[in-house]
Amino acid sequence: MDRVPILKIGDILLVSIQVDMSDQTAVQLQENLAERIVATGSHGVIIDITALDIVDSFVGRMLSTIASISKVLDAETVVVGMRPAVAITLVELGLSLNGIRTALNVERGMELIAAARADEWYEVDGDEDAETTARS
Amino acid sequence: MTAGVDLGVTAVQAIRSDEDVVRVRQLVRTTAVAAKLSLVDQTKLVTAASELARNTLIYGGGGTAEVAAVDDGRRRGIRIVFADEGPGIPDLDLALTDGYTTGGGLGLGLSGARRLVDDFDIRTAVGEGTRVTVTKWSR
């Protein structure tokens, strides 16, 4: 069975899917990634699907599940590199990729994660300010 | 039912495991490239084949995919027949509804695959099995 490598780059985990995954391989990736997020304390996951020439309902569901699991483990997921033909097919298939953020390439994906983290800090600060104002 | 003359280039792939579903995708891709389908059409056909091969494995308990290059006199295409001798589908209309599933999936396999191909035919009998025939034509 193929295994999809997970690379750590700074605060981010990068998964570049280079093989035509069997369903079993996809499920394995889901589990390995959850373990790596916790082990490394990463706050962002980028899944690069540039090399995938199809995304069917199984892989689509896997991407959604990874995004949900990451969210619970305090990490943002961005799917990058989707081919135009894959996007067209996904929409026609009826798959909406709920909860998944996408970016055109790895670089933009990293920017998106950085921005999402910054927003979160801002929101936390904002809440504290609001509380202080309410008390005074 | 799909019209068209079989060009005699037929390949059969058994579907008994996860890995066989991958092999079906690869076989369909190779055949679609050889038939000069557009990139979008190749992608749609391979995606449909992936959904249907998985159905054959999970719901049909395994079976075969037969991939053939066909010609209807005006255009060329790829025809794929997925056959299993599984339990069959009791309520076909329901099975073709978006979001309906008995297998814990998204319920898009059958209905989604139908949207991705040009011709779609399904024959099923409870206790005997299911046979899905799809064709994608070159434009």
Residue A120 CA to residue A126 CA, distance in Å, equals: 10
pLDDT bin (cut points 50, 70, 90) of residue A120 is: confident
Give the 3-state secondary structure of residue A80: strand
Query: Residue B42: its pLDDT value, please?
Result: 97
pLDDT at res. A65: 93
- Residue A87 confidence class, pLDDT cut points 50, 70, 90: very high
pLDDT band at A127 (very low <50, low <70, confident <90, very high): low
The pLDDT of residue A136 is: 43
pLDDT of residue B115: 94
B37 close to A (CB below 8 A): no
Q: Encoding tokens for residue A43?
A: 């706050």
CA torsion angle for A64, A66, A68, A72 (degrees, to 10)?
Answer: 180
pLDDT for residue B123 is more than 70: yes
Interface TM-score (ipTM) > 0.85: yes
Nearest-Cα distance to chain B for A16, in Å, is: 18
Give me the total of CB pairs closer than 8 Å, taking one residue from chain A and one from chain B. Answer: 72
B21, B42, B109 ranked by CB distance to A22: nearest: B21
Distances (CA, A) of B71 to B4, B5, B6, B8, B114: 5, 5, 7, 10, 20
Work out the minimum CA distance from B7 to partner chain A, whole angstroms.
Answer: 27
pLDDT at A95: 86
Summarised one tens digit per residue, pLDDT across range B80-100 is: 999 999 999 988 888 888 888
Q: What is the pLDDT of residue B8?
A: 64
B91 in contact with chain A, both atoms CB, cutoff 8 A? no
Packing angle of the helix pair A23-40, B18-34 (nearest 10 deg) = 110
Q: What is the pLDDT of residues A47-81, one digit of tens each?
A: 999 999 999 999 999 999 999 999 999 999 999 99
Task: Check pLDDT > 50 for residue B108.
Answer: yes
- Which conformational region is residue B88 in: left (phi greater than 0), alpha (psi within -120 to 50 degrees), or beta? left
Question: Which CATH number fits the domain that encloses residue B25?
Answer: 3.30.565.10
CA dist., res. A97 & res. A66, Å (int): 11
Using the predicted structure, report yes or no on whether residue A124 has a pLDDT greater than 90: no
Instruction: Dump pLDDT digits (tens) for A88-100.
Output: 999 999 888 877 8
pLDDT of residue B1: 46
- Whether A91 and A60 have beta carbons less than 8 Å apart is answered as no
Contact of A126 with A106, CB cutoff 8 Å:
no
Inter-chain touch B44–A53, beta carbons under 8 Å: no
Average of per-residue pLDDT across A5-33 = 94
At B1-60, the pLDDT tens digits run 445 666 666 899 999 999 999 999 999 999 999 999 999 999 999 999 999 999 999 999
DSSP conformation letters of chain B? ----EEEEEEEEEEE-SHHHHHHHHHHHHHHHHHTT--HHHHHHHHHHHHHHHHHHHHTTSSEEEEEEEEE-SS-EEEEEEEEE-S---S-HHHHTSTT--SSSS-S-HHHHHHHHSSEEEEEEETTTEEEEEEEEE--
Given this model, what pLDDT does residue A121 score?
Answer: 72
Domain span at residue B132 reads 5-137
Please give the tally of structural domains in chain B.
1
Domains of chain A, CATH where assigned: 6-135 (3.30.750.24)
Task: Please report the pLDDT score of residue A59 as a whole number.
Answer: 94
| A-chain residue closest to B57, CA distance | A23
Cα B87 to Cα A64, A136, B55, B115, B134, distances in angstroms:
31, 70, 12, 24, 21
Dihedral sign for Cα B27, B28, B29, B34, please: positive
